């Protein structure tokens, strides 16, 4: 995860980007909690909303893998499909933890 | 580029953080707000050069925020840039809401470039025109979820816009962040000023505390609450209801304002009418009972006078008591009139005489009013109830006097006229001669609006407690009841003139009280006297027996029918009370009539001839006599029916204290 390169893309220095990424992780964890709860309740609309939020924030900062997973979960839930959501939630959790860990190395 | 003061208003923390860092690194002074309300609070003490505004936000959205900012004189030159996450889904005209530019939110790398371009425009004071696209719109595609949310919001906007209730969204601190069109209209405050203001500022001082308590309660308990009694807002009355809204973004309250002013007015009017009806019924009942008491006194006086030598020292005293009974009877007649159970005794009268008497009475009570009488000689006679016309004149005089609080002149005119002279009026009089009465004052006059309503019951311009609003309404009712017409001319500051037209008659005037008392006519016939009150039976029997009649009594309708069935051959006349227990006079009359269709029946009642008596007379009953009556009146009525001259119609030579039955 090259934060310096990602920072440059959006016109910030690395330190500023790291702070943005910290914020993204905390907002992302909150979205993920809502996603998990909606999935547990088989609430498709709730899954769509939280996946949509996660998708937007990740796209803004350039976390493209998270963006892709969130986009897929949103599209499936919109079609009333929640089959892959459980697995996707685990994947999103790991990705966010990965960013968090990367931020912690510095 | 010159360093600028920049405000960014957006509820998304990542966008706020990004904009803050991105703009700060070039040396700009940046402040951020999470919603419209917070931004407005910030603007009170800090004036930025440029403001970035998100469109979809809680607590006053971006569109409203731009409009409010543009309405502030000190913010006219501030450069407004919309940051829209829904630019592709919503057809937004950013210039219409007062913004200078619009940037579509998207990946931050691109958005950063658009922010730089927009700042460049701002530096040169350039507003993007209609031909230019929104910054970044080429990278956008329409997103389903945004479209759905916008559609839902648009539906709700239509619903909110069509509600008859005012809807306000307020923060827990009582600041207004949304108002539907009805709420804006009800408060009479423009939306730009209403939003962000305190909701408590809308209410009267005495209601502020109540509303504050309600807000605190709903904010703490998160359950709906409604006020028990209406609160005042903008001179109208409202029932308010508060509902909490809680989501993870915000905590606000919805205030529902239901305008109950009209409902309350009708309710008050209804209660007033009910009260009047109740008072009327009570007054009627009292009058009835008093008439029975007066009847017994009058009967005894009559009997004593009948048997007493006119030279006896007690004779004059008895006459004096009789006069007092007559005064009492006039009082009960007024009570019956108020209860709308008044006599309707139509006979040919001389209006000039009535006017003179009314003027004299009125002058004694209101000395500050100078009355000029201009009465036509040889005025046509009219057929009217003198008592009711006196009430008409008195009400008009009182109305005129009240319009001249410092005193003034009242002119009363009478004149002969005819239907030709009444052309151009709103009504269509029957051809013939009429008598015109004009009552003019030099008082304050009325405007057109008041004039349109003066004859409405309960309408009054007098202060609380002074006018009942029934005076002119009864004037109107009485004139109409006589088949007449009334109209009014008035000008503010120039006085008022009422004109009444009543049909003339060729019948000779019957002068009230001018006749010599008729001698008592003795008889020997048998009379069945029916009344539920023992004292009435006693005095009635004594009076009739004093005149030589033979009397059989019955205490109610059932007994009367039974007696009549067994002794119809010997009974020449039935004297029948109307209001009785078990079987009333009406039913008893029908039963007796069925036994003998040629039966002669004279009704007697403490109520007036109106109502049930009129109906019984219409079924062929021979006459009516109102309690209290004296010996002469009873003698006249009984003789009249016995000799076959007694068939009565309502108002045609009616009966009463002074007159009794006339054929």
> Quick one: closest CA in B to A50, which residue?
B145
The pLDDT value given to residue B461: 66
Q: How far is A84 from chain B (nearest CA, A)?
A: 20
pLDDT more than 90, % of chain B: 38
Confidence of residue B663 (pLDDT cuts 50, 70, 90): very low
CA end-to-end span of chain A, whole Å? 12
Picking from B360, B632, B614, the residue whose alpha carbon sits closest to that of residue B513 is: B632
DSSP-assigned beta bridge partners for residue B50 = B6, B79
Long-range contacts of B257-264 (CB under 8 A, 24+ apart): B257/B165, B257/B166, B257/B167, B257/B168, B257/B182, B257/B183, B257/B186, B257/B233, B258/B165, B259/B164, B259/B165, B259/B166, B259/B186, B260/B230, B261/B236, B261/B237, B264/B230, B264/B237
Top mean pLDDT of B97-106, B116-125, B553-562, B604-613 is at: B553-562
Q: How many CB atoms within 10 Å of residue B420? A: 8
| Residue-range definition of the domain harbouring residue A67 | 13-105
CATH number for position A90? 1.20.120.160
Chain A, chain B: beta-carbon pairs less than 8 Å apart: 53
Contacts of A52 in chain B (CB under 8 A): 145
Q: Is B26 in CB contact (< 8 Å) with chain A?
A: no
Q: How far is A73 from chain B (nearest CA, A)?
A: 13
Picking from B183, B224, B229, B185, the residue whose alpha carbon sits closest to that of residue B206 is: B229
Instruction: Tell me the per-residue pLDDT of B109-118, one tens digit each, with 9 for 90 and over.
Output: 888 888 888 8
**For chain A, what is the domain count?**
1
> Quick one: closest CA in A to B85, which residue?
A56
Position with higher pLDDT, B134 vs B595: B595
- Asked if B615 and B649 count as a contact pair (C-beta separation under 8 A), the reply is no
- How far apart are alpha carbons B644 and B633 in whole angstroms? 17
ipTM exceeding the 0.85 mark: yes
Structural domain includes residue A95: yes
- How far apart are alpha carbons B501 and B455 in whole angstroms? 16
Confidence of residue B137 (pLDDT cuts 50, 70, 90): low
Instruction: Tell me the per-residue pLDDT of B181-197, one tens digit each, with 9 for 90 and over.
Output: 999 999 999 998 999 99
Decide if B14 and A13 are in contact by the 8 Å CB cutoff: no
Question: Which whole number is the average pLDDT over B350-377?
Answer: 89
The pLDDT value given to residue B591: 95
Please state the three-class secondary structure of B171-198 as a single string.
Answer: ECCCEEEEECHHHHHHHCCCHHHHCCCE
Question: Which whole number is the average pLDDT over B428-433?
Answer: 87
> Quick one: closest CA in A to B20, which residue?
A16
Structural domain includes residue A91: yes
Confidence of residue B661 (pLDDT cuts 50, 70, 90): very low
Decide if B109 and A11 are in contact by the 8 Å CB cutoff: yes
DSSP B203: B
Position with higher pLDDT, B356 vs B288: B356
- Asked if B627 and B609 count as a contact pair (C-beta separation under 8 A), the reply is no
Instruction: Tell me the per-residue pLDDT of B224-262, one tens digit each, with 9 for 90 and over.
Output: 889 888 998 888 899 999 998 877 656 789 999 999 988
Question: Which whole number is the average pLDDT over B37-46?
Answer: 92
Element (H, E) at B294: helix B261-307
Instruction: Tell me the per-residue pLDDT of B48-75, one tens digit each, with 9 for 90 and over.
Output: 999 999 888 888 888 889 989 988 888 8
Contacts of A20 in chain B (CB under 8 A): 14, 17-18, 21
The pLDDT value given to residue B143: 64
> ω into residue B628 within 30 of 0, thus cis?
yes
The pLDDT value given to residue B180: 93
Decide if B109 and A9 are in contact by the 8 Å CB cutoff: yes
B281, pLDDT greater than 80: no
Instruction: Measure CA B38 to chain center.
Output: 48
The pLDDT value given to residue B130: 55
Q: Is B119 in CB contact (< 8 Å) with chain A?
A: no
Question: Which whole number is the average pLDDT over B340-354?
Answer: 74
Q: Where are the alpha helices (DSSP H) in B228-260?
A: none
- How far apart are alpha carbons B633 and B655 in whole angstroms? 9
The pLDDT value given to residue B547: 93
B292, pLDDT greater than 50: yes
The pLDDT value given to residue B492: 85
B338, pLDDT greater than 70: no
Decide if B22 and A12 are in contact by the 8 Å CB cutoff: yes
Spatial CB neighbours of A40, under 8 Å, sequence gap ≥ 6: none
The pLDDT value given to residue B355: 94
DSSP-assigned beta bridge partners for residue B168 = B179, B255
B375, pLDDT greater than 90: yes
Position with higher pLDDT, B335 vs B238: B238
The pLDDT value given to residue B120: 87
The pLDDT value given to residue B425: 67
The pLDDT value given to residue B654: 33
Structural domain includes residue A73: yes
CA end-to-end span of chain B, whole Å? 113
Q: How far is A87 from chain B (nearest CA, A)?
A: 23
Structural domain includes residue A46: yes
Sign of CA dihedral B381, B384, B388, B393: negative
Tokens 């909303």: give the residue: A49
Top mean pLDDT of B130-134, B259-263, B342-346, B467-471 is at: B259-263
B610, pLDDT greater than 70: no
The pLDDT value given to residue B238: 92
Decide if A60 and B14 are in contact by the 8 Å CB cutoff: yes
The pLDDT value given to residue B608: 67
The pLDDT value given to residue B138: 62
- Asked if B199 and B179 count as a contact pair (C-beta separation under 8 A), the reply is no
Tokens 């003019």: give the residue: B440
Dump the DSSP string for B390-432: HHHHHHHHHHHHHT-TT-EEEEEEEEEEEGGGGTTSSS-PPSS
The pLDDT value given to residue A3: 87
Question: Which whole number is the average pLDDT over B25-47?
Answer: 92
- Asked if B102 and B134 count as a contact pair (C-beta separation under 8 A), the reply is yes
B18, pLDDT greater than 80: yes
Position with higher pLDDT, B271 vs B198: B198
Beta-sheet pairing, B251-259 with B346-349: unpaired
Question: Which whole number is the average pLDDT over B384-396?
Answer: 85
Confidence of residue A10 (pLDDT cuts 50, 70, 90): confident
> Quick one: closest CA in B to A74, which residue?
B145
Written as six digits, the tokens of B480 are 């109409």
Picking from B635, B603, B380, the residue whose alpha carbon sits closest to that of residue B520 is: B635
- How far apart are alpha carbons B55 and B87 in whole angstroms? 9
> Quick one: closest CA in A to B110, which residue?
A10
Structural domain includes residue A32: yes
Structural domain includes residue A40: yes
Q: For B303, list phi and psi in degrees, rounded to 5.
A: -65, -40
- Predicted TM-score (pTM) of the model is 0.55
Average pLDDT of chain B is: 83
B343, pLDDT greater than 50: no
Mutate to test the interface with A, among B110, B145, B247 (most CBs of A within 10 A): B145
The pLDDT value given to residue B273: 64
B647, pLDDT greater than 50: no
- How far apart are alpha carbons B348 and B350 in whole angstroms? 7
Structural domain includes residue A1: no
């Amino acid at each position: 995860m090259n934060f310096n390169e990602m920072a440059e893309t959006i016109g910030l220095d690395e330190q500023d980007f790291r702070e943005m990424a910290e914020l993204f992780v905390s907002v992302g964890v909150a979205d993920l909690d809502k996603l998990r709860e909606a999935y547990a309740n088989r609430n498709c609309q709730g899954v769509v909303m939280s996946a949509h939020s996660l998708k937007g924030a990740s796209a803004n900062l350039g976390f493209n893998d998270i963006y892709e997973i969130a986009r897929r979960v949103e599209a499936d839930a919109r079609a009333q499909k929640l089959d892959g959501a459980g697995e996707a939630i685990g994947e999103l959790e790991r990705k966010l933890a990965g960013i968090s860990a990367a931020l912690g190395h510095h | 580029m010159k360093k600028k003061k920049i405000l960014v208003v957006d509820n998304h923390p990542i966008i706020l953080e990004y904009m803050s860092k991105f703009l700060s690194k070039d040396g700009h002074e940046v402040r951020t707000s999470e919603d419209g309300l917070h931004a407005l609070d910030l603007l009170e003490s800090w004036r930025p050069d440029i403001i970035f505004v998100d469109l979809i936000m809680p607590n006053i959205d971006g569109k409203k925020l731009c409009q409010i900012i543009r309405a502030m004189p000190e913010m006219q030159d501030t450069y407004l840039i919309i940051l829209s996450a829904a630019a592709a889904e919503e057809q937004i005209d950013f210039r219409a809401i007062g913004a200078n530019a619009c940037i579509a939110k998207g990946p931050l790398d691109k958005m950063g470039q658009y922010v730089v371009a927009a700042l460049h425009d701002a530096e040169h004071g350039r507003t993007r025109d209609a031909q230019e696209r929104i910054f970044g719109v080429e990278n956008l595609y329409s997103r389903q979820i945004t479209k759905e949310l916008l559609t839902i919001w648009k539906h709700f906007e239509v619903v909110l816009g069509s509600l008859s209730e005012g809807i306000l969204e307020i923060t827990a601190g009582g600041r207004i962040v949304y108002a539907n069109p009805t709420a804006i209209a009800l408060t009479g405050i423009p939306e730009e000023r209403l939003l962000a203001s305190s909701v408590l500022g809308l209410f009267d001082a005495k209601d502020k505390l109540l509303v504050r308590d309600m807000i605190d309660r709903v904010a703490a308990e998160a359950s709906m609450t409604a006020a028990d009694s209406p609160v005042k807002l903008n001179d109208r009355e409202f029932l308010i209801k508060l509902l909490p809204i809680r989501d993870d973004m915000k905590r606000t309250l919805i205030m529902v304002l239901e305008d109950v002013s009209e409902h309350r007015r009708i309710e008050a009017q209804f209660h007033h009418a009910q009260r009047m009806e109740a008072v009327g019924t009570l007054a009627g009942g009292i009058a009835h009972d008093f008439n029975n008491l007066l009847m017994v006194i009058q009967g005894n006086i009559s009997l004593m006078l009948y048997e007493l030598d006119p030279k006896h020292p007690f004779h004059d005293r008895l006459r004096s008591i009789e006069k007092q009974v007559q005064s009492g009877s006039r009082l009960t007649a007024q009570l019956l009139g108020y209860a709308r159970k008044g006599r309707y005794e139509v006979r040919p009268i001389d209006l000039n005489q009535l006017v003179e008497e009314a003027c004299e009475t009125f002058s004694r009570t209101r000395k500050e009013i100078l009355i000029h009488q201009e009465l036509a000689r040889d005025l046509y006679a009219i057929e009217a109830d003198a008592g009711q016309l006196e009430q008409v004149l008195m009400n008009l005089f009182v109305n005129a006097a009240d319009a001249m609080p410092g005193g003034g002149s009242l002119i009363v005119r009478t004149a002969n006229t005819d239907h030709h002279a009444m052309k151009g009026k709103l009504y269509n009089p029957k051809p013939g001669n009429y008598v015109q009465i004009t009552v003019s004052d030099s008082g304050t006059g009325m405007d057109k609006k008041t004039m349109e309503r003066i004859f409405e019951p309960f309408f009054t311009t007098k202060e609380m407690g002074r006018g009942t609003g029934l005076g002119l309404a009864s004037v109107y009712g009485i004139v109409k009841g006589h088949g007449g017409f009334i109209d009014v001319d008035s000008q503010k500051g120039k006085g008022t003139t009422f004109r009444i037209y009543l049909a003339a008659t060729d019948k000779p005037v019957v002068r009230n009280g001018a006749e010599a008392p008729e001698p008592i006519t003795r008889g020997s016939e048998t009379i069945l006297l029916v009344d539920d009150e023992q004292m009435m039976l006693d005095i009635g029997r004594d009076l009739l027996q004093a005149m030589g009649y033979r009397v059989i009594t019955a205490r109610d309708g059932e007994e009367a029918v039974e007696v009549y069935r067994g002794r119809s051959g010997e009974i020449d006349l039935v004297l029948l009370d109307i209001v009785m227990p078990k079987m009333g006079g009406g039913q008893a009359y029908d039963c007796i009539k069925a036994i003998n269709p040629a039966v002669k029946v004279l009704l007697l009642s403490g109520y007036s001839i109106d109502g049930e008596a009129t109906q019984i007379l219409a079924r062929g009953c021979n006459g009516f006599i109102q309690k209290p009556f004296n010996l002469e009146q009873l003698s006249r009525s009984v003789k009249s029916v016995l000799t076959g001259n007694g068939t009565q119609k309502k108002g045609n030579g009616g009966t009463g204290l002074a007159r009794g039955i006339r054929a």
